[in-house]
Structures are given as C-alpha cells and as structure tokens.
Amino acid sequence: MDIIIKNGRIIDGTGNPWFKADLAIEGGKIIDIGVLDSLKGEKVVNAKGLVICPGFIDIHSHADSTNLVHPQQESTIRQGITTIIGGNCGYGLAPINHDKKDLILKYLTNIIRFSDDFKIDWSSFGEYLAKIEKVGMASNMILLLGHGTMRISAMGFDDREPTDEELAIMKNYTTEAMEVGALGLSTGLFYPPGIFAKTEEIIELCKIVSEYNGYYFSHIRSYGPKLMKSIRETIKIGRKAYLPVQVSHISIFGKPFWGTADAVLSLIERARDKGLEINCDMHPYDSVMTGLEMLLPPWVFEGGIIKTLERLKDPETREKIKYDQLHGCEGWDEWFPIEVIGWENILPVMLHSEKYKPHKGRNFKEISEIFKMDLFDTVYDLMIEEEGEASMIITHLRGEEDIINFMKSNLTAFETDGSSVAPYGELAEVNPHPRFYGTYPKILGEFVREKQVLTLETAIRKSTSLPAQMVGLLDRGLLKPGSWADIVIFDPKTVIDKATYANPHQYPIGINYVIVNGKIVLENGERVDILPGKVLRHEK
C-alpha cells in the first residue's frame, strides 16, 4: 500500500455517524477501510484523535482564475479543498476572442488582475484546458463555461440583445466547450455584461448544455429586493432548457429582507416537487465580496471600462449616476437605498493605486472623511484612480438567522466563492475576503463545534458527497473502496479559521493532512511541493 491511515475516526461523507477504522490507499484510490493490521504501508499516518473525511468539494470557486499564476493554490489546499468547480458567476478564462482581449481582461479584474507581462496564448475552451493541464494544479478542477467572457468574445460589452449571428457564435462556443468536457454554463446576471442578457438568450444556450447532460449555475440578478423574481427566472431556464440548475451562493441581502429564508427555500422545494433538479450552495459569512458595480446603475458599465471611466469623469453624468443611486432606475434589480447597506459597511479592496492603497481596510465613510469629499464622489474618484479595477467587501449584508436557516436545509452545499491566494508572492498583495482562507474551518469550528448548528457528519456531507452528487461526480466525495483518495485529516477540537478583514492572509488551524488523488499535499500542517490535481472532464 502507498499510504495507510491509522487510529482515526472516519466520517465517510454520507452523513452517517463516525466509526473507527484504518484506511488504505494505493494507485490514487481508496483500496480498503477496516481493521488493516496485516497490511504494510510505505507511509503510515497516525490519525489518533483526528477525523478522517473526504476532501472538500468547493462547488463554487474562482480558484481556476488564479491557477495559472498560482497552481499551488495555497489558500484552497490549506482549508482542505481537494476539488474545485470553477468558472462561476459568468467569469471564465475562455473562450478568448483576441480582438476583444482588453475588454475581457478588464472584466476579469473582479476576480484576477494579471500582470502586464502575462501572456494569453490560448483562444478556445479546449486550448485553455490543455494550458492549465500543462501548468498543473494542486486540487482537482471541473470548469463551467463563463457566459460573461463568452458574450464579450462574441459581441463586446454592448447593452443589447445579440444578433442572430452573434447568438450563433455563442452557441458554437458552448458546443465547443461542452465537447471538450465543460461541466455546463455559468452566468453572472447581476454583473455587466450578464445583466444585459435577457432570459431567452440564456435558455437558448442552456438548450445546448442540456444536450450534453450539463448544468446551469447562476449568480442570479438580485439577492435583495428582487430575490424571488430572480430565483423564478432560474427555475424558468431549468424548465425550458431541461437541465439541472444551481442557485449560486444563496443569500438574502439587506436588513429589510432578512427573515425570509423559509419562503426562498419553499419556492425552490416546490420547483423540485414538480421535477426540476434545483440546488443551492452557500458560504458562512455575513459579508460579501463583489465588484463596485453593485453600487452603480448598470448603464454606467455599457461598452466596457474605458467608457465607464469617461462617464465617471464627466460632471453632468456624475450627477445622473448619483440621482439613480438615490432613486434606482430601470433594469437595476439589485438597487438598494444606500442607507440599507450603510457607507461604513463598504470596504474597497484589491486596491493598487498609490493614492488609495494606504487606505486598504478602511471603509468609504472613513476614506471620504480623510479626503474631505462627498461620499458619492469618493466612490467615483476611487474607481477612476483604480482604473475600474477595485472590488469591495460589504459587511453585515446577510443576517445570521438566514445563514443558519439556509445552512440547515438539505438543498445547500458549502462553497467558498473564493480564488486561491497566498501570504507570499504576487497574490499576497491583494486583500481578499477572509473566506478565501477560512470557509470550511469556520463551518467546522464556529457552526459545528461552537454554535452547534449542524452535526459534524452533516457539515461534512454538505462539503463532500452533496456537492459531488450535485455535479454528477460519483467517484469522489465519499470514503469507500474504489473512490479516488481525496482526503482531509483534521482536529475537530481545534479546527477554526484565522483570516480577518484586516488581516486576511492567515491559514486556518487544525487542518493536518490533505491528500489529492492519493498524494499528500499537506503533511502535518506543512506543504509538500507537488501538483497532483487533475482536470476532470464532464462526460455526456
């Protein structure tokens, strides 16, 4: 045997109670579970006092975007993730129409900002998969085709419906991606250019995904004022295109709407009763990280970032933007009166300019006081100075009662909605959301051990076999003979997240071992310098 893990408690991912057994690994797979005294292992891991469970399957990740510059995936591996589902929220690194490359790169800055010497030497989805396979990866990856990237490649950043010709181009891109193993299609219907797409456009593309037995994942148009309407749109797409749908990072934004998780869940359950396979995923933080787009009306973003910056620089247009921010406007489903969010709860992040970088970690109220500026103008000036590349964290946007209600539902799997970053190298420069490092340890430490919202077995099921089942991944997510050996060994008495808003680059504690495809990548809390992850291709 390559590895034998002894003396631990096994939680197999089904939700069943733990049991004591040894586990043997050979050739990347789990060979045996039981009393294995007679077996000899090249390596023996003593898991006394620890839990052995399947590696976490992060069903909503953006770690694919950072993989080309950081294949070690430090913040991902350190929290026990062994498989990521990437390409979410409409963001993808393929297909790239090189005539639209600059628009695409600006669009992607919400999740990754490449250095100037970074080369994009691929075009199609297939070429991109070949590229990441060549670079390698620490955890396994399954990729969705991002609608936003594809739409820009087909028709730029225009606020209009596609022509027949442009729709045909998008359909070709979709066919091509599904042929080479994309899991399905993701949309970001809140972000431009996804927000410019009508429901019909998505249905047409999903019909192709459906022919390949693929999936539709959506960052829906609104998690606040128009949440129910947005979920109904997802249901409609699933029904019309005959495919399973995923409501990404289910949330209720904004205090006036808190307390409605039961109504949201029953809407989803009714759709399931009628035969639609619809699921959700979530992370456990009351804050979100998103583009500054959420603060501004969608028309400001039409045509791409260069035009956006021109609008922000024009005094008359600024007045109009401000007016719409105060009163809302047509086509802006996620509009909130700003006092619902609260300026003091909005922290600009991913700052690069000399002017604003020193104010990393401060909120807009503090920044406007420092520069003695009107609050709205502070946002516009910062966006101009950062060349449209800043993001933001909004704290206290979700209520704890809703988070707990969603957590307890059978329909929600856990996810990070994070990219991979590290406390070293170029990615140490960004200030990420703490969830990039701490999601699973926070669930296990805070919501299982401290608050006792879930049992350990249920929390692990929602991090392993449940997300695996949601994407048809039946040889991972469970500890059983024949499964791939993706395994985490952690200490249930100490496991907890350490990352904070002020100091996000901190590894969690209590995650001792991580094994990917039978290879140890984290040993006694220390990284091993190998990249055993694989691209997992969806098959029809």
Report cis status (omega within 30 of 0) of the bond before 193. yes
The 3-state DSSP class for residue 151 equals: helix
State the nearest-atom distance from the C-beta of 61 to Zn ion, in Å: 8
Closer residue to Zn ion (CB): 84 or 411: 84
Closer residue to Zn ion (CB): 88 or 512: 88
Q: How many residues does the chain have?
A: 540
Span from 11-19, 234-242, 412-420, 465-473 in contact with Zn ion (CB under 5 A): 412-420
Whole-number Å distance between alpha carbons of 463 and 457: 10
Span from 45-53, 89-97, 132-140, 392-400 in contact with Zn ion (CB under 5 A): 89-97
Contacts of 172 (CB under 8 A, 6+ apart): none
Closer residue to Zn ion (CB): 220 or 515: 220
Closer residue to Zn ion (CB): 204 or 417: 417
Span from 84-92, 201-209, 466-474, 531-539 in contact with Zn ion (CB under 5 A): 84-92
Q: Does 417 bind Zn ion (CB under 5 A)?
A: yes
Question: One-letter amino acid identity for 234?
Answer: T
State the nearest-atom distance from the C-beta of 114 to Zn ion, in Å: 19
The DSSP output letter for 484 is B
Span from 11-19, 26-34, 211-219, 505-513 in contact with Zn ion (CB under 5 A): 211-219
Closer residue to Zn ion (CB): 89 or 444: 89
Closer residue to Zn ion (CB): 402 or 417: 417
Span from 86-94, 199-207, 299-307, 430-438 in contact with Zn ion (CB under 5 A): 86-94
Number of residues that bind Zn ion (CB under 5 A): 4
Span from 38-46, 88-96, 97-105, 395-403 in contact with Zn ion (CB under 5 A): 88-96
Closer residue to Zn ion (CB): 293 or 457: 293
Closer residue to Zn ion (CB): 90 or 181: 90
Closer residue to Zn ion (CB): 414 or 490: 414
- The phi and psi torsions of 435 (rounded to 5 degrees) equal -65, -20
Q: Give me 17's structure tokens.
A: 């109670």
Cβ-based neighbour number of residue 216 at 10 Å: 25
Contacts of 410 (CB under 8 A, 6+ apart): none
State the nearest-atom distance from the C-beta of 219 to Zn ion, in Å: 3
Site string for Zn ion, 36-75 (x = CB under 5 A): ----------------------------------------
Q: Does 386 bind Zn ion (CB under 5 A)?
A: no
State the nearest-atom distance from the C-beta of 89 to Zn ion, in Å: 4
CB 338 within 8 A of CB 351: no
State the nearest-atom distance from the C-beta of 474 to Zn ion, in Å: 25
State the nearest-atom distance from the C-beta of 18 to Zn ion, in Å: 32
Computed over its alpha carbons, how large is the radius of gyration of the chain? Answer: 23
Whole-number Å distance between alpha carbons of 115 and 104: 14
Question: One-letter amino acid identity for 338?
Answer: I
- The phi and psi torsions of 9 (rounded to 5 degrees) equal -100, 125
Span from 79-87, 140-148, 314-322, 409-417 in contact with Zn ion (CB under 5 A): 409-417
Q: Does 187 bind Zn ion (CB under 5 A)?
A: no
489 forms bridges with which residues in the sheet? 52, 513
- The phi and psi torsions of 527 (rounded to 5 degrees) equal -75, 140
State the nearest-atom distance from the C-beta of 65 to Zn ion, in Å: 10
Span from 118-126, 177-185, 217-225, 368-376 in contact with Zn ion (CB under 5 A): 217-225
Contacts of 537 (CB under 8 A, 6+ apart): 129, 142, 180, 181
DSSP string covering 258-293, please? TT-HHHHHHHHHHHHHTT--EEEEE-S-S-EEEEGG
Whole-number Å distance between alpha carbons of 77 and 80: 5
Closer residue to Zn ion (CB): 50 or 403: 403
Whole-number Å distance between alpha carbons of 417 and 81: 12
Cβ-based neighbour number of residue 453 at 10 Å: 18
Closer residue to Zn ion (CB): 89 or 185: 89
State the nearest-atom distance from the C-beta of 397 to Zn ion, in Å: 13
Q: Does 88 bind Zn ion (CB under 5 A)?
A: yes
CB 347 within 8 A of CB 290: no
Alpha carbon distances (Å) from 409 to 241, 362, 454, 466, 527: 26, 35, 10, 12, 35
- Quote the Cα angle for 360-80-2, to 5°: 145
Closer residue to Zn ion (CB): 222 or 378: 222
Element (H, E) at 53: strand 51-54
Span from 26-34, 70-78, 212-220, 520-528 in contact with Zn ion (CB under 5 A): 212-220
Question: One-letter amino acid identity for 492?
Answer: P
Span from 16-24, 85-93, 321-329, 385-393 in contact with Zn ion (CB under 5 A): 85-93
State the nearest-atom distance from the C-beta of 455 to Zn ion, in Å: 28
State the nearest-atom distance from the C-beta of 417 to Zn ion, in Å: 4
Contact pick of 6, 219, 461, 462 for Zn ion (by CB under 5 A): 219
Contact pick of 50, 89, 103, 252 for Zn ion (by CB under 5 A): 89
The DSSP output letter for 535 is B
Closer residue to Zn ion (CB): 3 or 93: 93
Closer residue to Zn ion (CB): 77 or 220: 220
State the nearest-atom distance from the C-beta of 521 to Zn ion, in Å: 24
Closest CA to 191 of 295, 86, 293, 306: 293
Whole-number Å distance between alpha carbons of 332 and 316: 21
**Residues at the site binding Zn ion, with contacts judged by CB under 5 A:** 88-89, 219, 417
